[in-house]
Amino acid sequence: MDKQIQMVQQIVDDMLAKRESLRVLEAGCGSRSFIQFGPKAYLVGIDISAEQLQKNNLLQEKILGDIQEFPLQAANFDVVICWDVLEHLPQPEMALNNFLQTIKPGGIIVLGAPVVSSLKGLATKYTPHWLHVMLYRKVIGNPLAGTPGYGPFKTFLKSAMSPKGIRGFAVENHLRIELLESFEGVMQQTVRRKYPLVDLVFRAVAPLVRVLSFGTVTPHTTDFIAVLRKPAPDARDRQAEPAFAGTTVLNTAH
């Protein structure tokens, strides 16, 4: 995943080099950020979990709310980042439309999520949540997994947040796809590295899975990343608004 994050970081760095400031929305921000923005950025985070928001010390502004329904202001952000969140939404298309209306012309939407049709995605979708918690505790080594404010969280993995769904969303809304790449995620790599027998079985089964699924399931592909840009009508729309100081606030939405 480091390669994919670096690719997104380069796109963001290019934006920072051309602008005086950036307004950034971390959607479903949780307790950490994957991209570095530096002093030019005003960071706003929205999450449904108050515990997760409290752990994120990088935000200038915090919103407690559901990204599917919270009324985000139109054309308010230069960058929207939604990382490992869409799979947890029963209606991810609502969140995507929310991002679309709140992003400024010339701005980007960054999405990272599991591939629905991957082995990881299918196994996650059709296995009970308690099993996910056990894997996080025993395999990943996180003893707090499943406790309030800590993942793994309940998953839905709707088709609207699949790579195909994201591509369709971009085409329908005239967004430019700057990056759409699938890759093998950290969790699967960790399991295969930690348990050689699992890796051996995986290598043996992978070709059979590809054949039986007629190529629709690629075992080595578990996650994807996408960067979608809203076209700017003219050069003026690509200029960011001046940065401003603000204090951290906690808004609520029901």
- Gyration radius from the chain CA atoms: 19
Q: Domain 2-117+156-185+222-252 carries which CATH code? A: 3.40.50.150
What is the rounded distance in angstroms from the CA atom of residue 195 to the CA atom of residue 241?
51
25, 211 in Cβ contact below 8 A? no
| H-state helical runs in the chain | 2-18, 50-55, 92-102, 119-125, 129-135, 163-172, 186-194, 196-212
- Among 76-85, 158-167, 243-252, the range scoring the smallest mean pLDDT is 243-252
Model confidence, pTM = 0.83
**Where residue 31 falls among pLDDT bands split at 50, 70, 90?**
low
170, 228 in Cβ contact below 8 A? yes
Write out pLDDT tens, residues 138-167.
877 888 888 877 788 889 999 999 999 999
Write out pLDDT tens, residues 185-209.
877 877 788 888 888 888 888 888 8
Q: State the residue for tokens 């950036």.
A: 22
At 103 the pLDDT is 97
Write out pLDDT tens, residues 98-116.
999 999 999 999 999 999 9
The full set of domain ranges for the chain reads 2-117+156-185+222-252
Answer yes or no: is pLDDT of 66 > 90: yes
- Give the mean model confidence (pLDDT) for residues 210-219: 82
